[in-house]
Chains A and B, each alone.
Chain A
Amino acid sequence: MNQLIAKNVNVWYGDNHAIQDVSMVIEPFQVTALIGPSGCGKSTFLRLFNRMNDYIDNFRMEGEILINETNIYDPSVNTESLRKKVGMVFQKPNPFPTSIYENVAFGMRIQGMNKKSELDEIVETSLKKAVLWDEVKDSLKKSAFSLSGGQQQRLCIARTLAVEPEVILMDEPASALDPISTSKLENLIFELKKSYTIVIVTHNMQQAGRISDQTAFFFMGKLIEYDSTKKMFLKPEHLQTQNYITGRFG
């Protein structure tokens, strides 16, 4: 597993210059937090890594995003295989309207795997990795909507893990969860970084401080500062960063 590299990335939505000349290197097997006020471009930036912006009208991008030394915006790149390598967890838990089992199995099924024994095994290991197995092992046939919000979000993580990604992108994954679910999720993220590279967008400064190794501060489409989380929180170089982290604006 290698670094994720953004090289001179610019993004426009129509006339809106949403990301302005951002370059950064994201280290493997670490949690990198993207912080900044609403509309600063951090979510847009996150969604560049699995090309989720491609479906947005008027989206235009320049620059390179390198994953395993391949520019993922090269026309030869297959978006579907990219997204198997780079999974994503969304802001609001978005389980499919099917059973818990089928939610986790979906990623395998679309790759043509339909053997029950193999699926059973992957569903179980994925749910275990997402620390949800014990809570749902007797109700795998139940609708995913019968779970609580926090469980649904862990189900979405299990679903992502089932396709064996290398990178997991998380877009404010705890913003719709209560404090207890949030702390479970944070513990899970801490576990996951042993095996996956994690990039997380968060509005919660304490959360960024607790779980991330690196923090990047975005403001109005620009990457203002990017450093180890410790340094960012204790001795940031830029006044803007300090003001934002200490809650003086944003």
Chain B
Amino acid sequence: MNNSTKNRLTDKAFQYFGIFNTFLGLIMLAVFIFVILQVGLQRLDWDFLTSLPSRFPEKAGIYTALIGTFWMLLLTIIFSVTLGVSAGIYLEEYAKKGWFSKLLEINISNLVGVPSVIYGILGLAFFNRYLGLGGSLLAGSLTLSLLIIPVIIMTTRESLKAVPKTIKEGAYALGATRWQTIWKQLLPAASGSIVTGVILALARAIGEAAPLIVVGALVYVPFIPHTPMDDYTLLPIQIFNWTSRPQPEFQVNASAGIIVLLFLTFLLNGISIYLRNKWQKKVKW
């Protein structure tokens, strides 16, 4: 066998290996979704969405968890976007580039990789105990915000960096101040990809259970939260709870809950893809 046949064989082998792996992932996902749908769809109806939790599986619903998840999303958006985007703007546009900003940069990228349960422990110590927020929505959303702020900071910086320098120069050359340049040119031009990044970060956050178990999301909450200081439960927590029950009926409930959670996640991802495409069509540098 000469060299070129050998190379061609290697190439072919890798090609099939790649195809196999691609489909392996997709098939696993498809099987998972199929099973969940098969089990869960029978249970999924309006009553399931609007019923309070119960120890009788056929009566139990996800109303409190769903409302809790929406509350959590809203509060997390408020905290993480304000803090993350402004920190990103500061680091990209204001901070002097030097060893200090390098150090910050490295630390922020490291924070992205910190396991979420560590954030939970931090939230427990700081928000719940030290600030005395207890197991409230406020404490939970601040903890989740901590988890995704590094991602939002990085997204904001990358999006601002992607705006051509010539736009900035053009604005400055017309007598715009730095503030005007950032708010009227750079941010509008970068907002499409910032929003995309923020939504993807949120989609990850609403599926998180680990840090929120630590900071006190409750398994059984028989009422919906009315203020940020109320106790709460969330979809992932509710699902987690049901899957650990011995009765098979609760497994069915869990599957139905997973369908709702998957739907929310896909919805958020879909919105971000839509925005990204819409944006790419509008702006080409």
Verify if A36 is at the interface (C-beta below 8 Å from B).
no
Would you call A57 and B173 a contact (CB within 8 A)? Answer: no
Docked complex Cα distance between A41 and B76 (Å): 51
Q: Which among B174, B180, B284 is the interface contact of A159 at CB below 8 angstroms?
A: B174
Task: Give a binary string over B264-285; 1 marks a CB under 8 Å from any A CB, 0 the rest.
Answer: 0000000000000000001110
Total residues of chain A contacting the partner, CB 8 A: 29
Would you call B174 and A110 a contact (CB within 8 A)? Answer: yes
Verify if B184 is at the interface (C-beta below 8 Å from A).
yes
Would you call A107 and B167 a contact (CB within 8 A)? Answer: no
Verify if A249 is at the interface (C-beta below 8 Å from B).
no
Verify if B176 is at the interface (C-beta below 8 Å from A).
yes
Q: Which among A90, A143, A163 is the interface contact of B282 at CB below 8 angstroms?
A: A143
Task: Give a binary string over A67-96; 1 marks a CB under 8 Å from any B CB, 0 the rest.
Answer: 000000000000011111001101010111
The distance from the CB of B97 to the nearest CB of chain A, in whole angstroms, is: 7
Q: For A82, list chain B residues within 8 Å (CB).
A: 175
Would you call B184 and A163 a contact (CB within 8 A)? Answer: no
Would you call A84 and B175 a contact (CB within 8 A)? Answer: yes
Interface set, chain A 100-145, CB cutoff 8 A to B: 106-107, 109-111, 143, 145
Q: For B180, list chain A residues within 8 Å (CB).
A: 110
Would you call A94 and B166 a contact (CB within 8 A)? Answer: yes
Given contacts A94-B166, A97-B167, contact A160 B174 (CB under 8 A): yes
Would you call A90 and B174 a contact (CB within 8 A)? Answer: no
Would you call A97 and B174 a contact (CB within 8 A)? Answer: no
- Tell me the dominant secondary structure on chain B's binding face: helix
Verify if B249 is at the interface (C-beta below 8 Å from A).
no
Would you call B170 and A80 a contact (CB within 8 A)? Answer: no
The distance from the CB of A143 to the nearest CB of chain B, in whole angstroms, is: 7
The distance from the CB of B164 to the nearest CB of chain A, in whole angstroms, is: 7
Given contacts A110-B184, A143-B282, contact A94 B167 (CB under 8 A): yes
The distance from the CB of A49 to the nearest CB of chain B, in whole angstroms, is: 11
Verify if B189 is at the interface (C-beta below 8 Å from A).
yes
Verify if B169 is at the interface (C-beta below 8 Å from A).
yes
Would you call A94 and B175 a contact (CB within 8 A)? Answer: no
The distance from the CB of B283 to the nearest CB of chain A, in whole angstroms, is: 5
Q: For B167, list chain A residues within 8 Å (CB).
A: 94, 96-97
Verify if B172 is at the interface (C-beta below 8 Å from A).
yes
Verify if B171 is at the interface (C-beta below 8 Å from A).
yes
Interface set, chain B 69-110, CB cutoff 8 A to A: 97
Docked complex Cα distance between A98 and B282 (Å): 9
Docked complex Cα distance between A27 and B174 (Å): 23
Would you call A83 and B172 a contact (CB within 8 A)? Answer: yes
Q: Mark A residues whose CB is within 8 Å of B.
A: 50, 52, 55, 57, 80-84, 87-88, 90, 92, 94-98, 106-107, 109-111, 143, 145, 156, 159-160, 163
Q: Mark B residues whose CB is within 8 Å of A.
A: 97, 164, 166-167, 169-177, 180, 184-185, 188-189, 282-284
Rank and list the top 10 A-B pairs by shortest CB-CB distance, nearest first. Answer: A94-B166, A84-B175, A88-B173, A107-B174, A83-B175, A94-B170, A80-B175, A97-B283, A110-B180, A110-B176
